[in-house]
Amino acid sequence: MSLSQAELTIERADSGEETGGSVLGEAWKRLRRNPVAIVGAALILLFILVAIFAPLLAPYSPTQRVGQTTPTEIPGPSAEHLLGLDDLGRDELSRVIYGARQSLIVGVVSLVLGASGGILLGLLAGAFGGWVDNLVMRIVDIMLSVPGLLFAIAVAAALGQSLTSVMIAIAVVNIPIFARLLRGQMLAQRDSDYALAARSLGVRHRDIVLKHVLPNSVSPVIVQGTLTLATAIIDAAALSFLGLGGADPSVPEWGRMLADTQRYLAVAPQLAVFPGLAIVFSALGFTLLGESLREAIDPKYRR
């Protein structure tokens, strides 16, 4: 590659023709025309608004007993209580609404922690290579050898029953996923034309990694982050269902609500239906948006 060709290649990369920014810009144009992405974004927006404005939307306090129930008679949906009451006489709609807050907190915090740790490890492995890459990937392989949910259960049980333990457990499970993804992308970008051109011009390795290789490797990480939010909501519900969620049983969590209503399924099946639907639709929103974003970014997945 001649000097002029190398300079032209780097100029094109710096101007955005080959960077992650231009890829995301094109992806945004495709997303706006994708009805599946619009549905996913609408579900996510609804989920976020419900979580943020729960005190305004909930007709009652989630811990307030507003009716009388017995083990054999639990009121179902009515004009006064749209989703009925739970086994302790609390408004089910209010508890489902407040449960969105717990899911949003767990999803966002576990994503930030898991993505940060995974990106750091992937950056180290992809940038330095050699023994650093081998060490990081052996750690990643060990972590990925254990099924994700089983790994999360073990971590949460070791840390004790709390919402913080759930967030840390889910984050730890996601660290190797982000690490392997970013490392693979960086290895592919490291041998691209613009990276080779930068080396031929004497650009420092650190600048090549931070200014060229890393920006071109982040698009799949963004897609994975969206999908991770969906799995985080499901994993948080599973851990709460198993009794590893928050220590305060009065705080509504969708997974715990499902667990608490098992004994009343024959009497009041709606107690399991509404929290279950909340889990499904909130996770579905992130999944639809994540898959649409993947199709928009990567031509291999376009229909």
Q: What is the pLDDT along the chain (303 residues), one digit of tens a residue?
A: 454 544 445 455 454 444 445 666 777 778 888 899 999 999 999 999 999 999 999 999 998 888 887 777 888 888 888 888 888 889 999 999 999 999 899 999 999 999 999 999 999 998 888 899 999 999 999 999 988 889 999 999 999 888 899 999 999 999 999 999 999 988 888 777 677 777 777 777 777 777 777 777 888 898 899 999 999 999 999 999 998 887 677 889 999 999 988 888 888 888 889 999 999 999 999 999 999 888 888 655 555
Q: If we measure between CA atoms, which residue out of 116, 138, 115, 113 comes closest to residue 125?
A: 138
Tally helices (H) and strands (E) across the chain. 13, 0
Count of C-beta atoms within a 10 Å radius of residue 166: 31
Predicted local distance difference test score (pLDDT) of residue 190: 74
E strands, the chain, where? none
pLDDT at 18: 45
> So what's the pLDDT on residue 289?
92
Give the amino acid at 70.
T
Residue 233 tokens read as 């909501």
> So what's the pLDDT on residue 247?
65
The full set of domain ranges for the chain reads 3-56+84-301
Say which CATH architecture domain 3-56+84-301 belongs to: Orthogonal Bundle (1.10)
Please say whether the beta carbons of 245 and 255 come within 8 A. yes
| Residues 3/273, Cβ–Cβ less than 8 Å | no
What is the predicted pLDDT for the residue at 302?
Answer: 52
Percent of the chain that is helix, strand, coil (3-state, to 5): 75, 0, 25
Residue linked to tokens 């990106």:
119
